[in-house]
């Protein structure tokens, strides 16, 4: 992982690396073959040193388990490998993408991001991102410590909601420090599996890369790995098998809400990466399964929306706070569960 400087000049580690992803299934009659040789024969223009480096970094998987370069591939094995992507600067191309701008002045912009829009270029999304759109609309944007113009923070591709973007170096430094000092306000709306018993509470547990699945984050309850993470929540509405809650971030780790909610047994509804696309609570009746499938179709993404964003204006010192409306797909799923909770006979 590359080393970066935070606004206070202290060393921090980035977990936002870019990757190219390749996946293969070995033929049923595959004779035992070292995984590095197997990948050499299937990936165009790849070098053996690049494959061995991926193995050293724990980026080669067989059947979802990390393996070393000398692992012998067998028939029907599922092989995945992640490679560091070429220089990030090559992906910073301006594109004419429509942005939902909530507020703008000379030093910052508040954007309401739609679900499905990636914030910045990365594996499988090398163009068409929010950042590509920002570069088109705003020609001169300051770069953050990860070399990403204008970006103070980010939200996941399938999470909708608010982001603040810096237009000047001063605004970048001031806003980044607020996020680092935990003085910004970020509230999310989340629909989760299960009946959350407590009306409100806090989830604490260090978050880091999952040891066996680099695409997931996981909670290290003993703080042996990862970084400190704190999420506060309160229940807004109960629907029996799912609960609508508000989450407030005290820290801002990658996938923080998603990992924390899974950790306490309340995975986000339809969060495919963390298992929320399965029916985790409820009955086995066909009618219920059909009802849940219909909810998945209405909300074909994780049920998470960055609803409220608050910060101090870098120049005026004024407290700024913005709220974004709940997207139609999210609202439709909430309404459907609300009806189910009222009638229980769908």
**What dotted CATH number matches 184-346?**
3.30.2350.10
Cβ atoms of 126 and 91 within 8 Å: the answer is yes
- Determine the topology of domain 19-84 in CATH: 3.10.290
In CATH terms, are 1-11+88-181 and 19-84 the same topology?
Answer: no
Active site residue 323: no
Catalytic residue among 77, 156, 158, 271: 156
Burial 88-116 (b: 16+ CB within 10 A, else e): eeebbeeeebebeebeeeebbbbbbbebe
Nearest to 314 by CA among 108, 150, 5: 108
Per-residue H/E/C for 300-322: CCCCEEEEEEEEECCCCCCEEEE
Residue spans per domain, the chain: 1-11+88-181, 19-84, 184-346
At residue 316, the pLDDT reads 97
Max CA-CA distance within the chain?
69
At residue 16, the pLDDT reads 42
**What CATH topology corresponds to 1-11+88-181?**
Pseudouridine synthase (3.30.2350)
Pairing type for strands 217-220 and 206-209 reads antiparallel
**CA separation for the pair 47, 54 (Å, rounded):** 11
Q: How many residues does the chain have?
A: 346
CB–CB of 282/288 below 8 Å? yes
Residues of the chain below pLDDT 50 = 1-17, 346
Task: Kindly provide the residue ranges of all beta strands, DSSP E only, lying in the chain, ordered along the sequence.
Answer: 3-5, 11-13, 19-25, 33-34, 60-62, 65-66, 72-73, 78-84, 101-104, 108-113, 160-166, 185-193, 200-204, 206-209, 217-220, 230-238, 242-249, 304-312, 319-323
């Amino acid at each position: 992982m590359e080393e970066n400087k935070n606004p206070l000049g202290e060393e921090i580690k980035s977990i936002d690396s870019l990757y190219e992803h390749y996946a293969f299934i070995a033929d049923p009659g595959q004779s035992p073959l070292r995984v590095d040789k197997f990948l050499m024969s299937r990936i165009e223009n790849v070098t053996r040193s690049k494959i061995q480096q991926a193995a050293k970094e724990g980026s080669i998987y067989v059947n979802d388990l990390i393996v070393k370069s000398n692992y012998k591939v067998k028939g029907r094995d599922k092989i995945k490998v992640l490679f560091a992507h070429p220089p990030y600067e090559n992906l910073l191309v301006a594109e004419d993408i429509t942005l939902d701008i909530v507020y703008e002045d000379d030093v910052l912009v508040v954007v309401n991001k739609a679900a499905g829009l990636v914030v910045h270029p990365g594996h499988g999304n090398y163009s068409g991102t929010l950042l590509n759109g920002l570069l088109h609309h705003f020609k001169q944007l300051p770069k953050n410590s990860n070399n990403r113009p204008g970006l103070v923070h980010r939200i996941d591709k399938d999470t909708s909601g608010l982001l603040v973007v810096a237009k000047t170096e001063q605004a970048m430094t001031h806003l980044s420090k607020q996020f680092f000092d935990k003085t910004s306000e970020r509230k999310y709306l989340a629909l989760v599996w299960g009946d959350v018993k407590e009306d409100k509470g806090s989830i604490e547990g260090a978050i880091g890369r999952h040891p066996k699945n680099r695409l997931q984050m996981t909670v290290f309850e003993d703080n042996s790995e990862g970084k400190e993470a704190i999420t506060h929540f309160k229940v807004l509405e109960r629907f029996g098998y799912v609960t609508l809650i508000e989450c407030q971030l005290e820290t801002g780790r990658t996938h923080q809400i998603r990992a924390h909610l899974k950790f306490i047994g309340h995975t986000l509804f339809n969060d495919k990466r963390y298992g929320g696309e399965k029916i985790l609570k409820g009955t086995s009746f066909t009618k219920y399964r059909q009802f849940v499938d219909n909810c998945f179709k209405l909300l074909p993404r994780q049920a998470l929306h960055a609803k409220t964003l608050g910060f101090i204006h870098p120049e005026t010192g004024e407290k700024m706070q913005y709220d974004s409306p709940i997207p139609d797909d999210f609202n439709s799923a909430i309404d459907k569960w609300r009806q189910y909770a009222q009638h229980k006979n769908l």
